[in-house]
Structure 1
Amino acid sequence: MAGSKFIPDRGLTSRMVLTMSLLGILYVAFVIALVLVGLNVWLVVAIVVGFALFQYFTSDKIAMYSMGAREVSPDEAPDLHAVVDRLCAMADMPKPKVAVARTDVPNAFATGHNSKTAVVCVTSGIMRRLDTAELEAVLAHELSHVAHRDVMVMTIAGFLGIVAGFLTQMGLRFALFSGGGRGRGQNNPAIVALAVVAVSAIVWALSFLLTRVLSRYRELSADRAAAYLTGRPSALGSALTKITGDMARIPTDDLRKAEPFNAFFFTPAAAPKGFSLSTLFATHPPIEQRLSQLADISRQLGSGA
Structure 2
Amino acid sequence: MSYSSSTFDTAPRGGAPLRGSGWHRLGNALKTTVLLAGLTALVLLIGQKLGGPRGLAMAGFFVVVMNFVSYWFSDKIALAMHGAQPLAREQAPWLHEMVEELATRAKMPKPKIYMLPTRAPNAFATGRSPKHAAVAVTAGIMEILDRRELRGVLAHELAHVANRDTLIGTVAATLAGVISYAAQMLFWFGGSMLSRSDDDEGGGLAGAMSSLGLLLVAPIAATLLQLAVSRSREYGADATGAELSGDPEALASALMKLERGAELMPYDRAPATSHLFIVNPLSGRAVMALFSTHPPIPERVRRLREMGGRSWQRGW
Deviations, residues 168-220 of structure 1 (Å, cap 9, x unaligned): 22233334567969x95537999988765543443332221011011111001
Per the alignment, residue 98 of structure 1 pairs with: 113
Deviations, residues 10-60 of structure 1 (Å, cap 9, x unaligned): 557625622531441553466367547724122121221222223333322
Per the alignment, residue 154 of structure 1 pairs with: 169
Per the alignment, residue 77 of structure 1 pairs with: 92
Deviations, residues 230-284 of structure 1 (Å, cap 9, x unaligned): 111111111111122233432xxx53336543211111123547xxx92221111
Deviations, residues 49-108 of structure 1 (Å, cap 9, x unaligned): 222223333322222122221112222221110100110111111111111112111111
Per the alignment, residue 164 of structure 1 pairs with: 179
Counterparts in 2 of 1:20 and 1:205: CA distance versus 1, 3 Å: farther
Counterparts in 2 of 1:201 and 1:15: CA distance versus 1, 3 Å: farther
Counterparts in 2 of 1:57 and 1:200: CA distance versus 1, 3 Å: farther
Identity %: 33
Per the alignment, residue 267 of structure 2 pairs with: 255
Counterparts in 2 of 1:112 and 1:190: CA distance versus 1, 3 Å: farther
Counterparts of 1:260 and 1:90, CA distance in 2: 32
Is the contact between residue 39 and residue 196 of structure 1 (CA under 8 Å) also seen in structure 2? no
Give the CA deviation at 1:162: 2.4
Amino acid at match of 1:145: H
Counterparts in 2 of 1:180 and 1:284: CA distance versus 1, 3 Å: closer
Task: Give matches, 1:197-276, under 5 Å.
Answer: 197-250=212-265, 255-257=267-269, 259-270=271-282, 272=284
Amino acid at match of 1:18: K
Amino acid at match of 2:164: R
- The number of residues matched between the two structures is 297
Per the alignment, residue 12 of structure 2 pairs with: none
Is the contact between residue 171 and residue 193 of structure 1 (CA under 8 Å) also seen in structure 2? no
Counterparts in 2 of 1:86 and 1:259: CA distance versus 1, 3 Å: same
Amino acid at match of 2:246: G
Residue 129 of structure 2: SS of its match in structure 1? coil
Task: Give ranges in structure 1 of 5+ residues lacking alignment.
Answer: none
Task: Give ranges in structure 2 of 5+ residues lacking alignment.
Answer: 1-14
Residue 189 of structure 2: SS of its match in structure 1? helix
Per the alignment, residue 8 of structure 1 pairs with: 20
Amino acid at match of 1:283: T
Is the contact between residue 16 and residue 214 of structure 1 (CA under 8 Å) also seen in structure 2? no
Give the CA deviation at 1:116: 3.8
Query: Paired residue for 2:130, among 92, 101, 115?
Result: 115
Residue 302 of structure 1: SS of its match in structure 2? helix
Amino acid at match of 2:288: S
Residue 90 of structure 2: SS of its match in structure 1? coil
Counterparts of 1:109 and 1:184, CA distance in 2: 49
Alpha carbon RMSD of aligned pairs, Å?
3.4
Please state if 1:21 is matched with 2:21.
Answer: no
